Every structure is written in C-alpha cells, then in structure tokens.
C-alpha cells in the first residue's frame, strides 16, 4: 500500500484487481494478515530462482551452510514455517534414522513418542508436534500466575516425566518462560533426550539466532516470515546434524532406486540409513526453490542489519503515535516494550469508560482499507499500535483513522 501526498490511500495493484480489501498493518507480524513484507532482496532472489531448475537437496544443503554459520548449529534446514519445523523436529526425534519408523508416522505404535513440556509452554502451535504422532506430556501447574510466589514448573517435575517413552522435551522460548532453557537442557541431556525449542518470534535481537543453540538446544525453530522478512511460507530449523538429516529424509522426495540415490552429502549420509525412504510425513509441507532462495537471501540481509538503528526507528515511531493520540480526550497513550517480551516497542492506547476498545477495533477493521491494530488488550479496554510493519505515512494514517473512529 502507499499513500499519495494528500493522504489518499493508493492500494496495491493485485489486491485492487482482485477486489480484495487491503490491510494497513498496525498489529505487527501476524500471519493472519500476511506476516511481514518480504525484503526486496529476497523477492529478487525468488524471481531469479523461478528462471531455472535446481536439485532441491542441493539448495537445502546451501541453506544448511548459511544456517550453520549464523546460528552456530551443526546443520540447518528450511521448512514451510516455524510450525512445520516443530512437526518435522518431532518426527526426527521419534524416527531418528529408522526408515521403517519414518514410513509409519504418524503411527507411533512401539516407538517412544512422548514429548514432555512444561504446561505453561503449551500453545495452539504445538498441534504440530501431535500431527507428527507425538503425545504431549505436560507437567507443572499455573501457580506462578496465582501470585503465591511459587513457580509454574519445578525442574524435578520435568525430570520425573522423562522415561522410556520420551522422544524429546519441548520448550517455548519467551523472555518469561521458566524454568530457564539451561536447566531444562541439563535435565534432558542427563537422560539422553533432545530439546526442541520453539523460538519462532524471538529474533531480533539477532544474537538470539545463536543463543539457544549455544545453551544446548538440540533443535531450534524460527519463523522465516516474521522479522527476518523472508517468504511467509518459510521457517528455519537449526540443530544437531543427525536430527537435521532425519528432517531432510522425511521432507525431500527420495523415491529412487538405491543405486541411483544421490542425496546431498552435507545433509544426508546414505550409509547411515537402512534403505531409501519414500515420501515422508513432511512431504505435504514442501518448500519450493523460490522460497528457499528467498529465505537464504533474507537471512543474509537480516544478520547484517543494524538492529540498534532499527529499534531506535521503531521507538521514534511509537512515540510519534503516542504524542499524536495524547492530544485526544478519553484516552492515554504510552510507549512500552521493545525489550524482552516484544520485539519492537508498541504504543498502548488505554480508553476510558466512555469508549470501547472492542467497538474501535471492529470499526477500524471494517474500513476500506482495513486497519488492523493490536487487539490483545481489548479486555482492559486497550488497543496497541505496533510500528514494525508501518512507514511514517501509514502510521499517521492509522492515527488519523483511530481519531476519526473515537
Ligand atoms: C508465529 C509462531 C509460530 C508459527 O510460525 P510460522 O512460521 O508462522 O509457522 C509458532 N510458535 C510461536 C511461538 C509463534 O509466535
């Protein structure tokens, strides 16, 4: 979308042609409304990739090299999103290098298939773990949120849940998750069980690409389509070489005669597998050459970003929106976040009892173009403006639309 100098909205060609209302995104990198805008460099890479053929395994091997370099992991893989990475990570933890097990998933009869997770790490996204055939065993309580001073889960509760049937420990990385990753890794490794970390939205800071691998996680997943701004349908898995090999074996098309089987050696050692796998559980989540090329380029650009400058820019925008809105009656706008829980600072707008956040959110979404603001605080009569997906003109437009709808 763009805005003409007189503030008129100029919609993106394709959405106008299709007759679909566009969205002005003040809600941040939400998949439902398209995630983030893909980097120009990534888009160019995708266009170029569309002009020729390539062996997908070779391209995955090249991506693995880059992911290895930027995360410090032994290997990496590109999936069709962080959630697909969780599914494939679970499949790798359950099947390992056993071709027969790969062929049977999600049927796990006779296989260790339990994934132990602190209960407060459960999210809707972990359906992906179950889709691979895993059974989630969640432990702990919600005590911390009762305000008793107790923690949600004690290390011994995780330890007690690990047994013969355990395939992995699942961990969702957020600044507030407990116990810390180091403690969980230590327990899991004492029992020879891998730890799979969902860090889908935990970059920037860019250092986080390395942090969880360094802490000892065996597989870490990141979204390619959030702040990295690669194609929407990409995710990154970084981790142990044997687990990444298992992911590749369950994702790439492999069905050729053994004598003709020539997988990329950087990812797959054919001698370590007892036969050529057929299409695995990951096959419905395929990643094309264009997405692979786009993700590789986006990640290269992302790791070279001046993150401090980007943060300062978001901070300036959030303050600009707060200042403009504070001139209005019946609301208070403040800037919060930017560290820890949120990747970028947001402008939080608290309405007084004469106004309704629910009505405001609905009215904004109903416009043409639709205006999406952060709506997680509607219960507290709050809306939020996230600057990550807005330029200055769009930010001003959002502020104006909020004003008009008060
Ligand atoms: C966004 C998100 C996902 C899903 O990521 P995709 O790349 O869209 O598949 C999974 N887990 C968490 C915590 C997320 O924030």
Quickly tell me which residue has 């939020």 as its tokens: 384
Q: Verify that 363 and 324 share a domain, yes or no.
A: yes
From atom 14 of ligand 1, which residue's Cα is the shortest distance away?
A: 200
State the virtual CA torsion across 302, 308, 312, 314 in degrees, nearest 10: 30
What's the 5 CA to ligand 1 centre distance in angstroms? 36
pLDDT of residue 337: 80
What's the 393 CA to ligand 1 centre distance in angstroms? 29
DSSP element (H, E) containing 9: strand 9-10
pLDDT under 50 in the chain at which residues?
Answer: none
pLDDT of residue 342: 59
Vertex 216: Cα angle to 212 and 220 (nearest 5) = 45
Q: Verify that 298 and 221 share a domain, yes or no.
A: yes
Q: Are 40 and 294 in contact (CB under 8 A)?
A: no
Cα–Cα distance between 191 and 112 in angstroms, integer?
Answer: 13
What's the 223 CA to ligand 1 centre distance in angstroms? 6
pLDDT of residue 254: 85
Q: Are 369 and 399 in contact (CB under 8 A)?
A: no
Q: Verify that 108 and 253 share a domain, yes or no.
A: yes
pLDDT of residue 8: 63
pLDDT in tens, 1-27: 666 656 666 788 999 999 999 999 999
What's the 200 CA to ligand 1 centre distance in angstroms? 5
Pick from 268, 302, 336: which residue ends a domain? 302
From atom 13 of ligand 1, which residue's Cα is the shortest distance away?
A: 200
Vertex 204: Cα angle to 29 and 384 (nearest 5) = 40
> What CATH code is carried by the domain that includes residue 392?
3.90.1150.110
- What is the number of structural domains in the chain? 2
Nearest alpha carbon to residue 292 among 243, 239, 248: 248
What's the 83 CA to ligand 1 centre distance in angstroms? 6
Cα–Cα distance between 152 and 144 in angstroms, integer?
Answer: 5
pLDDT in tens, 168-203: 999 999 888 889 999 999 999 999 999 999 999 999
Cis peptide before 209 (omega within 30 of 0): no
pLDDT of residue 338: 67
Nearest alpha carbon to residue 397 among 113, 137, 22, 26: 26
pLDDT in tens, 252-302: 998 888 888 989 999 999 999 999 999 999 999 999 999 999 999 999 999
Ligand 1 atom closest to Cα of residue 199: 13
Q: Which range marks the domain in which residue 352 is found? A: 2-34+306-404
From atom 2 of ligand 1, which residue's Cα is the shortest distance away?
A: 200
Cα–Cα distance between 26 and 247 in angstroms, integer?
Answer: 36
Q: Verify that 368 and 288 share a domain, yes or no.
A: no
pLDDT of residue 324: 96
Q: Verify that 362 and 384 share a domain, yes or no.
A: yes
Q: Verify that 322 and 348 share a domain, yes or no.
A: yes
Q: Ligand 1 site: residues with CB under 6 angstroms?
A: 31, 81-83, 123, 125, 172, 198, 200-201, 223, 225, 235
What's the 16 CA to ligand 1 centre distance in angstroms? 29
Q: Verify that 129 and 275 share a domain, yes or no.
A: yes
Q: Verify that 103 and 214 share a domain, yes or no.
A: yes
From atom 5 of ligand 1, which residue's Cα is the shortest distance away?
A: 82
pLDDT of residue 250: 97
Q: For a substitution probing ligand 1, which of 198, 229, 285, 388 has the most ligand atoms within 8 Å of its CB?
A: 198
What's the 295 CA to ligand 1 centre distance in angstroms? 16
Quickly tell me which residue has 């860019």 as its tokens: 206
Ligand 1 atom closest to Cα of residue 84: 9
Ligand 1 atom closest to Cα of residue 173: 13
From atom 3 of ligand 1, which residue's Cα is the shortest distance away?
A: 200
Query: Cβ of 162: how many Cβ atoms within 10 Å?
Result: 20
From atom 8 of ligand 1, which residue's Cα is the shortest distance away?
A: 81
Reading the block at residue 311, the tokens are 């943060």
Cis peptide before 402 (omega within 30 of 0): no
pLDDT of residue 94: 98
Pairing, β 331-337 against β 345-351: antiparallel
Quickly tell me which residue has 């805008």 as its tokens: 37
Pick from 255, 287, 302: which residue ends a domain? 302
Q: Verify that 253 and 312 share a domain, yes or no.
A: no
Reading the block at residue 63, the tokens are 């991506």
Pick from 253, 283, 302: which residue ends a domain? 302
What's the 355 CA to ligand 1 centre distance in angstroms? 33
DSSP element (H, E) containing 361: helix 357-365
Quickly tell me which residue has 């597998």 as its tokens: 273
pLDDT of residue 175: 80
Q: Verify that 254 and 291 share a domain, yes or no.
A: yes
Nearest alpha carbon to residue 390 among 335, 295, 321: 321
Q: Verify that 284 and 314 share a domain, yes or no.
A: no
Cα–Cα distance between 24 and 27 in angstroms, integer?
Answer: 9
Cα–Cα distance between 46 and 129 in angstroms, integer?
Answer: 30
Q: For a substitution probing ligand 1, which of 127, 223, 224, 231 has the most ligand atoms within 8 Å of its CB?
A: 223
DSSP element (H, E) containing 350: strand 345-351
- For the chain, the residue count is 406
What's the 125 CA to ligand 1 centre distance in angstroms? 7
Q: Verify that 204 and 319 share a domain, yes or no.
A: no
What's the 389 CA to ligand 1 centre distance in angstroms? 17
Reading the block at residue 226, the tokens are 């959030």
pLDDT of residue 31: 87
Which 3 state secondary structure label does DSSP give 170? strand
**Phi and psi (nearest 5°) for 53?**
-95, 160
Cα-atom radius of gyration of the chain, to the nearest Å? Answer: 23
- Can you list the positions of beta strands (E) in 109-194? 114-118, 135-139, 166-172
């Amino acid at each position: 979308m763009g805005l003409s100098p007189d503030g008129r909205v100029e919609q993106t060609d394709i959405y106008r042609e299709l007759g679909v209302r566009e969205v002005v995104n003040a809600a941040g990198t939400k998949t439902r409304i398209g995630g983030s805008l893909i980097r120009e460099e990534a888009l160019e890479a995708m266009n170029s990739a569309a002009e020729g053929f390539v062996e997908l395994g070779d391209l995955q091997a090249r991506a693995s090299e880059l992911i290895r370099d930027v995360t410090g992991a032994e290997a990496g893989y590109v999936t069709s999103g962080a959630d697909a990475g969780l599914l494939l990570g679970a499949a790798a933890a359950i099947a390992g290098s056993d071709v027969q097990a790969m062929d049977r998933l999600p049927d796990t009869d006779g296989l260790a298939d339990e994934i132990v997770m602190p209960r407060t790490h459960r999210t809707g996204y972990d359906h992906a773990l179950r889709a691979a055939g895993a059974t989630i065993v969640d432990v702990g309580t919600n005590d911390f949120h009762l305000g008793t001073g107790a923690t949600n889960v004690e290390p011994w509760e995780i330890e007690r849940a690990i047994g013969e049937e355990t395939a992995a420990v699942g961990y969702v990385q957020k600044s507030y998750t407990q116990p810390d990753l180091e403690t969980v890794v230590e327990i899991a490794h004492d029992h020879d069980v891998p730890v799979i970390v969902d860090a889908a939205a935990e970059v920037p800071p860019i250092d986080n690409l390395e942090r969880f691998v360094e802490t000892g996680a065996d597989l870490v997943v990141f979204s390619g389509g959030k702040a990295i701004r690669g194609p929407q349908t990409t995710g990154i898995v970084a981790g142990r070489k044997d687990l990444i090999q298992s992911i590749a074996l369950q994702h790439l098309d492999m069905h050729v005669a053994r004598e003709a089987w020539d997988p990329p050696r950087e990812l797959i050692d054919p001698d370590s597998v007892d036969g050529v796998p057929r299409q695995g559980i990951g096959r419905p989540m395929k990643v094309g050459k264009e997405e692979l090329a786009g993700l590789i380029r986006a990640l290269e650009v992302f790791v070279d970003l001046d993150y401090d400058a980007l943060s300062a820019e978001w901070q300036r925008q959030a303050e600009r929106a707060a200042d403009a809105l504070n001139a209005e009656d019946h609301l208070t706008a403040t800037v919060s976040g930017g560290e820890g829980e949120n990747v970028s600072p947001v402008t939080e707008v608290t309405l007084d009892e004469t106004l309704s956040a629910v009505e405001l959110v609905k009215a904004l979404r109903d416009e043409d173009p639709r205006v999406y603001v952060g709506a997680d605080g509607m219960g507290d009569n709050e809306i939020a403006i996230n600057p990550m997906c807005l330029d200055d003109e769009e930010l001003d437009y959002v502020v104006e639309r909020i004003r008009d709808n008060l």
